Homo-oligomer: A and B are copies of this chain.
């Protein structure tokens, strides 16, 4: 293997524990031995063996981030921030992809014990609050994203209802009267879709407009494109659509433009997530921008608290901020490159 404390100790002519003390910055080491040990350390290029340290201390320095799919831009961007935030605690992040399937989510929740990760940040899609509550494993857990509220674990998300209401209000303020919601989901019990739908409904109701909704199975471009096609084929198509995320919106935009209609003149479009694609599409995409950096940081910090603190602290609910990014897909005001 590599260089161990023992090798260094032999070279420096001290005990293994003294080397360990130097490595860990223990206070009571005489300057003389300290320099002696440090010289030996650098001469041999010592690196601590984390497996051994972890075995001894019961921690691995690794947390898991479980997401539906890494190649959805929102999750990729979020991952970036999570990895950054974790790095500040000197944690490594292993990424697990669940595809949003119940089987995989269970597997991940189960597997954290196997892999001795110190904590898990989970973006749940399929798993239910009751099932989470029933788990016996005491690995620290933080839920990230929109699905489960007031559940059995710490939870970080934006205020989906308010965000959805705000963006719908924006569409209505444009003067549109047939404002649709694209992204409604059928079977989800406590998921994100009902929350965003609720926000949409609040705004619609406040202005006495009629509800128009389109369902999807998953939140990707293809489903957005298909759902938009159905909306356009209806007797009286919408003149504005709030898509429940940006991927849906970009798929929808594709369909609108491919049908020969204009965005926003014929159909105004708005999304939610603020993925980078939407800043460079033509037209650029109006959207809700969650503060992803804050989401990530909060999730990591909550995990840290949970890991350090007593496990029986009641679960916390945290809301992070968001901003409306008004761009061409609703205003038509063309800028060269909008951020």
Contact = CB atoms under 8 A, between A and B. Distances in A.
Interface in A56-104: 58, 60-62, 69-71, 73, 76-77, 79-80, 83-84, 92-97
A186 interface: no
Contact of A92 (B1, B94, B279, B282): B94
B337 A222 contact: yes
**Copies of this protein chain in the complex:** 2
Contacts of A281: 254, 281-282
Contacts of A280: 221, 225, 250-251, 253-254
A176 interface: no
Interface in A250-279: 250-251, 253-255, 257-258, 276-277, 279
A60 B94 CA distance: 13
A51 B47 contact: no
A334 B251 CA distance: 15
A149 to B, nearest CB: 27
Contacts of A115: 50, 61, 92
B282 A221 contact: no
A226 B337 CA distance: 9
Nearest to A138: B2
A114 interface: yes
Interface size class of A (residues with CB under 8 A): 35 or more
Contacts of A335: 258
A116 interface: yes
Contacts of A93: 94-95
A52 B50 contact: no
Contacts of A55: 49, 51-52, 55
Contact of A279 (B54, B114, B221, B279): B221
A290 B115 CA distance: 33
A243 to B, nearest CB: 13
A113 interface: yes
Contacts of A254: 280-282, 284, 337
A221 to B, nearest CB: 4
A212 interface: no
Contact of A336 (B60, B253, B258): B258
11 contacts: A51-B52, A51-B116, A61-B115, A62-B62, A70-B70, A71-B79, A73-B277, A84-B97, A253-B282, A254-B281, A258-B282
